[in-house]
């Protein structure tokens, strides 16, 4: 059983959201700020992520080791992440240790010291993280695709930043960015698990009084025209990598749930269209899937495939043919029902994780303005029709809107006509 979502806005503007799940003995608690890589200028690329790292490198009250020990010594875990639109610091612990979780997270986000020696060391850590991604073509191609489809725009820049930008950051950059964006009006505290809302509100109000109250208003940067429809890069790799994709609508669009179901129909498991019609029938690919990412400024829909360089053009043709057939012939009622059951199953199973609940609730508050209950989400999935999916498929299949990002092995490039 779960109780209703409860919400309180503190006098300084911090929003506190909770959902009690009395059947568990734990809780997940997140301190969220509505700031991410999409709020960075070109020269700041990677600064939000570096700031998230540096909060763990010591505060006025705790050393790096003490931050970890204070949570791990009571059987909990602590971590953080940065996305395009948000930064989250979170703990997962036994419900009896909620006060400690609040105290440590409040210390992190209010009183980091940003020691210069620690900053130089952590910059090197992130540079290794960037190099690791660059050495993995299956990961790196996503950054190149993002940059190609959203040129000169924050969405097109990597969340980690670049070697050049990360090397340039100073302590003053961190202090200025934190002062601007780590403010009460941008903060959402979300707790899910065996906890009382009033207790959570009281602890947050007592612990988070030193944040600036207001941040300057920022306007969403409008995407610029795409410069390159096809980009091919030669690499010391054994396999070719391909992303075909296009721009689509933002996350506020009502087609968001039909899109998730259509994505399931295309690549959701071994009975999906891509698995059956491309992998099984033709046997020329191991890894193929569609994906989408929706932001406040716009969205992306794409298909990734890892394929022999000599079969690159064949693979592009198979993918586009599958999308074309889908747009012309549509889906069956059986396919829709299966996708709906998969979506419902995935959603309900995720409820067993307090972290997944917390993350889902925070995202709905920060980016969609109002929390969506599980029952409401299930109802929205149920209301999607075959016509909704077919109309969306026709919208997606516009070949002139697609771009391609391709990695080819240097030793196989001469035998491939990809991109021609």
Q: Specify the pTM.
A: 0.92
pLDDT band for 415, please (50, 70, 90 cuts): very low
Higher pLDDT, 397 or 350: 397
> What's the whole-number mean pLDDT along residues 327-355?
94
Least confident of 132-136, 137-141, 292-296, 395-399: 292-296
Please check the confidence at residue 2 and state whether its pLDDT lies above 70.
no
**Mean predicted confidence (pLDDT) in 74-91:** 97
> Which secondary-structure segment (H or E) carries 406?
strand 403-409
Query: Residue 420 pLDDT more than 50?
Result: no
| Residue 117 Cα to chain centre, angstroms | 30
pLDDT tier, 417 (very low <50, low <70, confident <90, very high otherwise): very low
- Per residue in 96-117, pLDDT tens? 999 999 999 999 999 999 999 9
Distance CA 189, CA 18 (A): 8
Catalytic residue among 2, 3, 52, 134: 52
Span 156-207, pLDDT tens digits? 999 999 999 999 999 999 999 999 999 999 999 999 999 999 999 999 999 9
Residue 83 reports pLDDT greater than 70? yes
Token pair belonging to 48: 């939000």
Phi first, then psi: what are they for 294, rounded to 5°?
-115, 130
Total length of the chain: 420
CA gap 15, 81 in Å, rounded: 20
User: How do residues 16-69 score in pLDDT, each as one tens digit?
Assistant: 999 999 999 999 999 999 999 999 999 999 999 999 999 999 999 999 999 999
Residue 182 has what DSSP assignment? S
Q: Which helix (H) or strand (E) holds 314?
A: helix 312-329
- Lowest pLDDT segment from 36-50, 169-183, 338-352, 366-380: 366-380
Average pLDDT of the chain, as a whole number: 93
- The answer to whether residue 52 is catalytic is yes
Domains of the chain, each with CATH number or no CATH: 6-207 (3.30.830.10), 230-415 (3.30.830.10)
Task: Find out whether 308 and 233 touch, Cβ atoms under 8 Å.
Answer: no
**pLDDT-derived band at 412, boundaries 50, 70, 90:** low
| Positive/negative CA dihedral, 121, 124, 126, 128 | negative
């Amino acid at each position: 059983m779960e109780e209703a979502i409860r919400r309180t806005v503190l006098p300084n503007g911090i929003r506190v959201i909770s959902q009690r799940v009395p059947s568990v003995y734990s809780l997940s608690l997140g301190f969220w700020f509505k700031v991410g890589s999409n709020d960075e200028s070109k020269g700041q690329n990677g600064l939000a992520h570096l700031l998230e790292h540096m909060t763990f490198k010591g505060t006025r009250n705790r050393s790096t080791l003490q931050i970890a020990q204070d949570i791990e010594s009571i059987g909990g875990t602590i971590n953080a992440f940065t996305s395009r639109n948000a930064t989250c610091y979170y703990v997962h612990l036994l419900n009896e240790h909620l006060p400690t979780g609040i105290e440590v997270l409040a210390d992190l986000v209010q009183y980091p010291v940003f020691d210069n020696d620690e900053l130089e060391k952590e910059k090197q850590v992130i540079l290794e993280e960037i190099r690791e991604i660059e050495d993995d073509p299956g990961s790196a191609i996503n950054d190149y695709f993002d940059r190609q489809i959203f040129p000169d725009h924050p969405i097109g820049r990597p969340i980690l930043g670049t070697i050049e930008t990360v090397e340039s950051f100073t302590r003053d950059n961190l202090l200025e960015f934190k002062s601007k964006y780590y403010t009460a009006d941008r903060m959402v505290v979300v707790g899910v698990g065996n906890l009382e809302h009033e207790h959570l509100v009281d602890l947050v109000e007592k612990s988070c009084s030193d944040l600036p109250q207001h941040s300057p208003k920022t306007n969403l940067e409008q995407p610029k025209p795409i410069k390159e429809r096809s980009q091919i890069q030669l690499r010391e790799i054994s396999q070719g990598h391909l992303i075909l994709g296009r721009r689509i609508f933002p996350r506020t669009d009502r087609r968001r749930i039909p899109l998730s179901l259509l994505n399931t129909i295309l690549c959701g498991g071994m009975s999906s269209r891509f698995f059956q019609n491309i992998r099984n029938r033709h046997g020329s690919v191991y890894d193929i899937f569609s994906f989408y990412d929706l932001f406040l400024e716009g969205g992306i829909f794409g298909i990734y495939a890892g394929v022999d360089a000599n079969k690159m053009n064949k693979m592009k043709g198979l993918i586009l043919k599958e999308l074309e057939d889908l747009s012309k012939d549509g889906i069956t009622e059986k396919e829709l029902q299966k996708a709906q059951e998969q979506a419902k199953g995935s959603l309900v199973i995720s409820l067993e994780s307090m972290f997944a609940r917390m993350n889902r609730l925070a995202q709905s508050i920060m980016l969609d303005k109002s929390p969506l209950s599980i029952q409401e989400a299930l109802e929205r999935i149920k209301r999607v029709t075959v016509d909704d999916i077919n109309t969306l498929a026709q919208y997606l299949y516009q070949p002139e809107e697609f771009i391609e990002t391709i990695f080819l092995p240097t030793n196989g490039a001469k035998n491939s006509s990809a991109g021609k």
